[in-house]
Structure 1
Amino acid sequence: MSSFTRRNAFGTALGAASGLAAGALARPALAAGAGAGEALFPLAQATIPVIGQDTLFPVRRIYCIGRNYAAHAREMGSDPAREPPFFFQKPSDAIQVVGQGEVGEHPYPTLTKNYHHEIELVAVLRSGGRDIPKERALDHVYGYATGLDMTRRDLQRGMGDQKKPWEIGKSFDHSAPITPIVPVASGGHPTRGRIRLSVNDAVRQEADLSDMIWSVAEQIANLSAAFELKAGDIIYSGTPENVGPVVRGDVLRGQIEGLPDLSIRIV
């Protein structure tokens, strides 16, 4: 079954679809004036399956940290010793859920001739707040998944050269493949372990989670200084060095120790 079929089956639901079990996520309060009328149409809600449960994790926002492994920062032309953390976002409907044991079909996007892979640990939040201290940050994490931050590198670099936002290189349809979530209750907090990506069985990216410059806890603390984090937010926590291009027909396999493998075929 293709990833698009599975996504329709259990990776995307209408806004009224069930989220996690009662109490697992905070319920947002209605805005002032809400309920005065009905929505014009139902809006799809991106969701991610939870391993071992019949519940779905609803996605609110996707945050990504840039250049969070020193060697990758250097290959992108930065000095990791002097650069503070920085973040960008993807739209929530960029999620492409790929189930365990599945090779999802991933469409090669338009406008690019230099399409890159970036394997990443993804943390998903069950709660949030502002100015969260690093020591309490992991209390807000519901679980973890394996993800890919797919990137139209030529568009990203071209916009950067023009001193313009490079959202077009990062924030497009299907740009955030992800596996089902492993809850912290069953998998703990992965702070070390191999992270690896292969293309057609040849290893391209390989490092250890402990090589991250900014830990997941530090990412949450820094993000919460700029944004009010909330239940449903997810964080792509950066990629190791040796990002590179893929073409149609390539099969990518992302692996993070203790989490499901993520496999896609570029079509």
Structure 2
Amino acid sequence: MRIATHSGRMLLVSPDSSRAVDVSQVSGGRYGPGPREVYDVWEEFARWAGDATIDFDADGVPVPLDELGAPSPDPRQVFAIGLNYRDHADEAGFAHPDSPPTFTKWVGGFAGPVGDLRLPTETVDWEAELVVVIGRRAESVAAADAWSYVAGLTVGQDFSERTLQLSGPAPQFSLGKSFPGFAPQGPWLVTVEELADPDNLAIECRINGETVQKSSTDRLIFSVPGLVEQLSAVLPLLPGDVIFTGTPAGIGAARKPPRFLQDGDVVETTIEGIGGLRQVCVATPR
């Protein structure tokens, strides 16, 4: 199953991703219209969707990629994980962590899969990431059971303004990563059963067609089940919560000399079996 959001309403996307129907309309008002209402009854909704007979050709409309929002646009909690690929920890000059370094990206930075990325400074960096959306309350969950608590997976970018992020006596990770548009996600949420191996998905970021990051999620230090286990041991994870799982090597700040995004750059981020994002960088007048 694939779901997306448009104008605050949840859509069910056809298997070939070409057409979509409004969840509230095709369910006769039983589910939705907003994503939060659907995630709060995710298990029931997923059973209904699995049994529903939907004629996407007759009832659907073309998927408007440039109008979609994040698949879970108003989560109660957002978790972001740092240094979660060994090669990224190595390029950043840090030891491999024993527990997941965790910060947040505020919802004000959320955006859909396609659009402009306004650059507030000259030190904005890219970070391709697999993003997890939680489907039911998870509290003290064992890793072996964790996938059953996941609604699905989507593509994300953890754009980062490095000057603010690293300023002051204590780094401002969350602020530096939460400017408007700094958390694009999408184009849709893909449920786990659609993926041949959800623990091993190719991930790539390209800038103006040049590959700058290329890896696989099987290289995560803390896998998706491991993250659910460790985070839910501290506090409950709630339906619709979002987890940015970390980025592989290839970020701009680690290059010599450092490389940052510029006006006109086109950033494309793809994950195998899910889809891709496309942001066009726009310099902010000073």
**In which range does the TM-score fall when normalised by the shorter chain?**
0.7 to 0.9
What secondary structure is seen at the aligned counterpart in 2 of 1:177? strand
- Check whether the contact 1:61–1:90 (CA below 8 A) recurs between aligned residues: no
How many residues matched? 226
CA distance in structure 2 between the aligned counterparts of 1:22 and 1:130, rounded to whole angstroms: 15
2:124 maps to 115
Which piece of structure 1 moves more, 184-193 or 17-26?
17-26
Task: Name which of 15, 20, 23 aligns with 2:41.
Answer: 23
Partner of 2:65: none
Among 169, 175, 179, the alignment partner of 1:172 is 179
Matched, 1:210 2:218: yes
Partner Cα distance (1:148, 1:72) in 2: 15
1:256 positional shift: 1.0
Alignment gaps of 5+ in structure 2:
10-31, 45-67, 253-259
Percent of matched pairs sharing the same residue? 28
1:198 aligns with 2:206: yes
Q: Who is 1:234 aligned against?
A: 242
Whole-Å separation in 1 of the counterparts to 2:88 and 2:39: 38
- In the TM superposition, residue 176 of structure 1 has moved relative to its aligned partner by 0.6
Moved more, 190-199 or 139-148: 190-199
CA distance in 1, matches of 2:202, 2:276: 12
Q: Quick check: 1:60–1:92 contact (8 Å CA) kept in 2?
A: no
What one-letter code is carried by the residue in structure 2 that aligns with 1:156? Answer: Q
Misfit runs of 4+, over 6 Å: none
TM-score, normalised by the number of residues in structure 2 = 0.71
Question: The residue matched to 2:138 in structure 1 has which SS?
Answer: coil
Quick one: distance in 2 between partners of 1:22 and 1:61? Answer: 14
Distance (whole Å) between structure 2 residues aligned to residue 126 and residue 205 of structure 1 = 29
Q: Alignment partner for residue 86 of structure 1, among 101, 118, 122? A: 101
Closer/same/farther in 2, CA of residues 95 and 65 from structure 1, 3 Å limit: same
Q: Which amino acid aligns with 1:125?
A: I
Structure 1 partner of 2:79: 63
One-letter identity of the residue aligned with 2:225: A
Alignment of 1:129-148 (within 5 A): 129-148=138-157
Deviation at 1:139, TM superposition (A): 0.8
Give secondary structure in 1 for the equivalent of 2:6: helix
2:265 is equivalent to residue 256 of structure 1: no
Q: Does residue 247 of structure 1 match 2:262? A: yes
Q: CA deviation at 1:255?
A: 1.2
1:205 is paired with a residue of what secondary structure? strand
| Aligned equivalents of 1:198, 1:105: Cα separation in 2 | 16
Closer/same/farther in 2, CA of residues 136 and 47 from structure 1, 3 Å limit: farther
Match of 1:10 among 6, 24, 38: 6
Q: Deviations over 1:123-151 (max 9, x none)?
A: 11111232111111111101111100010
**In the alignment, what sits opposite 1:224?**
232
CA distance in 2, matches of 1:166, 1:126: 27
- How far apart, CA to CA, are the structure 2 residues paired with 1:207 and 1:22? 33
8 Å CA contact 2:78, 2:104 repeated in 1 = yes
